């Protein structure tokens, strides 16, 4: 029985993780959960899965959660300390890091320091603090299993091969809802248009990141750290059907790919059960039902955020953390109707232009760079007129 803690149990990845756990009650047990704002769902999850510990991100929400869980045999805690308590709870073997954004950084680092294996969905932790995270993973000898579907595909395609034989990691991207929208129309697309992803059902922030393709940019940086690959070995192909989840090319010209229906339950199940495989409940792939698999080079004029992510990776040091922070602020401003879709990339670019990259040697320094990026991006947002 593998004992699991979930950071971000009420989100899209958290809920899918709990579905996998529920369908394998003899294989997985949830010992601790953490949630953000959806207290009702969190309380229902506690009733169903009976963890020993539950944490809510904002300590102001503690009285309400206590009320909702009145009579339940569960320890209730809150704030960053509470999230870290979930990440380090006794008996937990694997922590599913499914908080969105840099907010996941500190609890995920706490999990690794406590010797827990990590199933990582929260890509922003590797984007902001990749070198420190990989050092922590090595020092504490924990396993880091990717949940992101592309990285799970790469992980599955490199097992049994030597790193030096890899010539290219090819991440696939759906291209999101605006892959073919006339560039002129992009000026006036709405939040609803941007949230309308053709293939994947996900949280709001990553759905907007998919529309701008910043998501793929974050994934390029994530791949750089997970697979110890330089930027020029990581490329992106647009593949609108989202059937091939990514590929690895080798020195002999062979390419290994992983295929499946687009459903996060497959990579989540693999991250939880590796090296074994368990059923994920997703529909098996029938290639004869598909009309075709197509691939295109991404257009950086249409998707400037992808170019910005390569730039941040090239400049390195604190630049990816600042880029990520600016993206979080810009996406929030777009979702709240304060800036337009095309202004997301402009806010990020202007924030990066103002930043002098510097070395980050601790998580505290990463948090300071993150804070700097947020403040700069907020100030830039206020200068934008729609
Ligand atoms: P989501 O918004 O649906 O859920 C986020 C979870 O984190 C929720 O439980 C929320 O309550 C919690 N949370 C939010 N802010 C918090 C804070 N400040 N402190 C503590 N908890 C907080 O997001 P999601 O789509 O599930 O994505 C989670 C992570 O997984 C992201 O990093 C995303 O990039 C990554 N990811 C998601 C998918 C997907 O299909 N949804 C696929 C690949 C990777
Ligand atoms: Mg992905």
Per-residue pLDDT of 272-283, as tens digits, reads 999 999 999 999
Nearest Cα residue to atom 43 of ligand 1? 148
pLDDT tens readout for residues 340-371: 999 999 999 999 999 999 999 999 999 999 99
Grade residue 267 by pLDDT with cuts at 50, 70 and 90: very high
Which residues are CB-contacts of 136 (< 8 A; sequence separation ≥ 6)? 109, 112, 113
Mean pLDDT of 127-143: 98
Q: Are strands 234-238 and 166-173 parallel, antiparallel or unpaired?
A: parallel
Taking only Cα atoms into account, the Rg of the chain, rounded to an integer number of angstroms, comes to 20
Residue 386: pLDDT over 80: no
DSSP secondary structure code for residue 296 in this structure: B
Tokens 């009650």 correspond to 25
Grade residue 214 by pLDDT with cuts at 50, 70 and 90: very high
Domain residue spans of the chain: 2-142, 316-386
2-142 fold: Rossmann fold (3.40.50)
Say yes or no: CB of residue 116 within 6 Å of ligand 1.
no
pLDDT tens readout for residues 57-84: 999 999 999 999 999 999 999 999 999 9
Say yes or no: CB of residue 82 within 6 Å of ligand 1.
no
Residues of the chain with pLDDT > 70: what percent? Answer: 100
Nearest Cα residue to atom 42 of ligand 1? 148
Its CATH class, for the domain covering 316-386, is mainly alpha
pLDDT tens readout for residues 302-343: 999 999 999 999 999 999 999 999 999 999 999 999 999 999
Say yes or no: CB of residue 14 within 6 Å of ligand 1.
yes
Say yes or no: CB of residue 206 within 6 Å of ligand 1.
yes
Structure confidence at residue 351 (pLDDT) = 98
Tokens at 40, concatenated: 């009702």
The helix, strand and coil proportions of the chain, stated in percent and rounded to the nearest 5, come to 50, 15, 35
Structure confidence at residue 199 (pLDDT) = 87
Structure confidence at residue 201 (pLDDT) = 87
Inter-residue contact 89 to 53 (CB < 8 Å):
yes
Residue 233 CA to ligand 2 centre (angstroms): 18
What's the rounded Cα separation, in Å, for the pair 130 and 102? 12
What's the rounded Cα separation, in Å, for the pair 266 and 260? 8
What's the rounded Cα separation, in Å, for the pair 122 and 206? 10
Structure confidence at residue 291 (pLDDT) = 85
Tokens at 284, concatenated: 């098996």
Residue 296: pLDDT over 80: yes
Structure confidence at residue 198 (pLDDT) = 87
Mean pLDDT of 102-111: 97
Inter-residue contact 326 to 347 (CB < 8 Å):
yes
What's the rounded Cα separation, in Å, for the pair 2 and 289? 37
Structure confidence at residue 329 (pLDDT) = 98
pLDDT tens readout for residues 160-195: 999 999 999 999 999 999 999 999 999 999 999 999
Say yes or no: CB of residue 122 within 6 Å of ligand 1.
yes
Which residues are CB-contacts of 135 (< 8 A; sequence separation ≥ 6)? none
Residue 73 CA to ligand 2 centre (angstroms): 36
Give the three-state DSSP class for 202.
coil
């Amino acid at each position: 029985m593998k004992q699991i803690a979930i950071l971000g149990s009420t989100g899209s990845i958290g809920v899918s993780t709990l579905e996998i756990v529920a369908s394998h009650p003899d294989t997985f047990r949830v010992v601790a959960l953490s949630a953000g704002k959806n207290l009702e769902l969190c309380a229902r999850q506690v009733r169903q899965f009976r963890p020993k510990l539950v944490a809510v991100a904002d300590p102001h929400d503690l009285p309400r959660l206590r009320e909702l869980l009145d009579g339940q045999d569960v320890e209730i805690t809150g704030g960053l300390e509470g999230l870290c308590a979930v990440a380090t709870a006794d008996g937990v073997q694997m922590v599913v890091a499914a908080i969105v954004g840099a907010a996941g950084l500190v609890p995920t680092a706490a999990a690794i320091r406590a010797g827990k294996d990590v199933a990582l969905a929260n890509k922003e932790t590797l984007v902001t603090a990749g070198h420190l995270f990989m050092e922590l993973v090595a020092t504490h000898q924990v396993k880091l299993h990717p949940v992101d579907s592309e990285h799970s595909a790469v992980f599955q395609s490199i097992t049994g091969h030597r790193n030096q034989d890899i010539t290219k990691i090819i991440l696939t991207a759906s291209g999101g809802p605006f892959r073919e929208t006339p560039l002129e129309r992009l000026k006036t697309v709405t939040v609803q248009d941007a949230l309308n992803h053709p293939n994947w059902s996900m949280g709001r922030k990553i759905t907007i990141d998919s529309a701008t393709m910043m998501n793929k940019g974050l994934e390029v940086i994530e791949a750089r750290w997970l697979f110890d690959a330089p930027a020029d070995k990581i490329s992106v192909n647009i593949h609108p059907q989202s059937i091939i989840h990514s590929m690895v090319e080798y020195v002999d010209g062979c390419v290994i790919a992983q295929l499946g229906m687009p459903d996060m339950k497959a990579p989540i199940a693999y991250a939880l059960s590796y090296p074994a495989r368990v059923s994920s409940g997703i529909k098996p792939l029938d290639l004869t039902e598909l009309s075709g698999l197509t691939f295109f080079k991404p257009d950086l004029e249409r998707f400037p955020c992808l170019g910005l992510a390569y730039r941040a990776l090239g400049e390195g040091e604190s630049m990816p953390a600042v880029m990520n922070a600016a993206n979080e602020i810009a996406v929030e401003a777009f979702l709240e109707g304060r800036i337009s879709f095309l202004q997301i990339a402009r806010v990020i670019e202007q924030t990066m232009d103002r930043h002098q990259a510097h070395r980050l040697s601790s998580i505290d320094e990463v948090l300071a760079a993150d804070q700097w990026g947020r403040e700069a991006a907020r100030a830039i947002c206020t200068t934008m007129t729609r």
